[in-house]
Amino acid sequence: MKAYYFSFLFFFLMNILLYSQNDSTVIQAIIIDSTATIQQSDSIQQLDLVDILSKMFKIKNVDEKREKGKVRFTLFPTSSAASGDKTVFTSFNVTFLAGDKKTTNLSNIFFIPYIGFGKQYGFIVQPNIWLRNNNWNFVGEHFILNYPQNTWGLGGNSPDENEILIDYDHLRFHQNALVGIFPHFALGLGYAFDNHYNIVIDSADLSEISAPHLFNTSDNSSLSSGLTLPVVLDTRQNSLNAEQGIYCSITYSFYDPIFGSDDRWQSLFVDVRKYFPISGKKYSILALRSYYWTILSGTVPYLDLPANRWEPTTGSASRGIRQNRYRSNAILYYESEYRFGISRNGLLGGVVFASVTAPSEYGTQHFIYWHPAAGVGVRLKFNKYSRTNVTLDYGFSKGFQSVYLNIGEAF
């Protein structure tokens, strides 16, 4: 088992080294070509939704004020990617620079009040803040949810007829603080708290979900509290809409009763994303992503087990697959997305994407069942200075399809 973990980490790290060393000449050439394309497109006035609205309402000198401003706001009614398919009244995003734009990444904070069908409601805050020269990075997810949701049991081949409704409230406080060690490389320490309470299972037979022993039926709750140790390599300048660079994070989490947790358990989450700018007359990016999420040891509450679209990271995965459809002790995930410009002024764009989700057979590291999904989408530039897009995607898989209206790219 340990050999499997080390071999998997070795695979990811070797890919990073290959990207940064063996293919450096190729990537550098692509970036140079892309830069030339961007410079060429600069001669065409870039347009966004705010420009259109200001012209409609005849507001003067808007562009001058926006260009000088250090804080960018995006306010739009969406079912945000950050909110995991929930119907949202308004998703509010603020982006800002805390230092020189040449040495400091763009910071962003999502504020997401939402209400959905099936008695779902709550409030989410997701900060990703970079201080001057990227010396510190603060990443978190904080929410309180009332979130009835269906579950189908464990493993990669859980049948549709096992569908059971679980009603619960969820309080989460996840916060990591990372300090820059080298350029683009940071180490950190964090705290993770998840309290599922008022759990009501709409079934008299818990065996249908394959894990009755993972529920504390005495008080209808589960509490996980512990420390996280993140390691991050991030060469992107803008996490909302990356045009180049690589992102790699490895997060080890340790939960223990000494921190107030019900049980002692450990997990590992590895997330790698790579962005290739492609030369041409219009904006064109190939974005790749892969993650591995696994339980290392211990007894984990059912609702804290790895599940699709509950990943402990920024962005959104497995579009086209129902949230929470697959849950197990480990999940492998791969996705590719081609992003392209439609209008030369940057207002309209499009994407095509495909992914595959592979939950392990419960209690093992055997990935037998692979579940593909695919889709297409359009992009409307909301803010040309922060490059924030309003995204509309259609995703589908076997037996399921959905539309996703979001702010910001999926990854």
d(CA 215, CA 218): 9
Residue 27: what pLDDT?
A: 29
Task: Enumerate residues 6+ apart whose C-beta is below 8 A from 366.
Answer: 360
The average pLDDT across 324-329 equals: 94
Burial 288-313 (b: 16+ CB within 10 A, else e): ebbbbbbbbeeebbbbbbbbbbbbbb
Task: Enumerate residues 6+ apart whose C-beta is below 8 A from 277.
Answer: 30, 31, 33, 34, 243, 244, 284, 285
If one compares 129 and 36, the residue with the highest pLDDT of the two is 129
In this prediction, residue 123 has a pLDDT band, given cuts at 50, 70 and 90, of: confident
In this prediction, residue 204 has a pLDDT band, given cuts at 50, 70 and 90, of: low
Residue 206: what pLDDT?
A: 59
What are the angstrom distances between the C-alpha of 353 and each of 81, 310, 334, 340? Answer: 15, 20, 11, 12
Q: Which of 200, 196, 118 is nearest to 167 (CA)?
A: 200
Residue 369: what pLDDT?
A: 96
If one compares 248 and 24, the residue with the highest pLDDT of the two is 248
d(CA 89, CA 80): 10
The average pLDDT across 74-85 equals: 47
Residue 365: what pLDDT?
A: 95
Query: 387: left (phi > 0), else alpha (psi -120 to 50), else beta?
Result: left
Domains of the chain, by residue range, sit at: 2-407
Mean pLDDT, all residues of the chain: 80
The average pLDDT across 72-76 equals: 50
d(CA 223, CA 188): 23
Residue 94: what pLDDT?
A: 79
Model confidence pLDDT, tens digit, residues 233-260: 999 888 888 989 999 999 999 999 999 9
d(CA 386, CA 346): 13
For residue 35, pLDDT beyond 50: no
In this prediction, residue 337 has a pLDDT band, given cuts at 50, 70 and 90, of: very high
Report which residue type is found at 386.
S
Residue 49: what pLDDT?
A: 67
Residue 21: what pLDDT?
A: 37
d(CA 337, CA 285): 8
For residue 60, pLDDT beyond 90: no
Least confident of 53-57, 217-221, 272-276, 293-297: 53-57
Pairing relationship of beta strands 120-130 and 107-116 according to DSSP bridges: antiparallel
Highest mean pLDDT among 175-184, 326-335, 345-354: 326-335
Helices (H), 107-263: none
Least confident of 2-6, 59-63, 104-108, 253-257: 2-6
What percent of the chain is predicted at pLDDT more than 70?
74
Residue 39: what pLDDT?
A: 41
* Host H or E run for residue 122: strand 120-130
For residue 61, pLDDT beyond 70: no
For residue 212, pLDDT beyond 60: no
Q: What would be the CATH architecture of the domain defined by 2-407?
A: Beta Barrel (2.40)
If one compares 243 and 112, the residue with the highest pLDDT of the two is 243
Highest mean pLDDT among 33-42, 52-61, 368-377: 368-377
Highest mean pLDDT among 62-66, 158-162, 270-274: 270-274
* Host H or E run for residue 12: helix 2-17
Residue 207: what pLDDT?
A: 59
The average pLDDT across 114-140 equals: 84
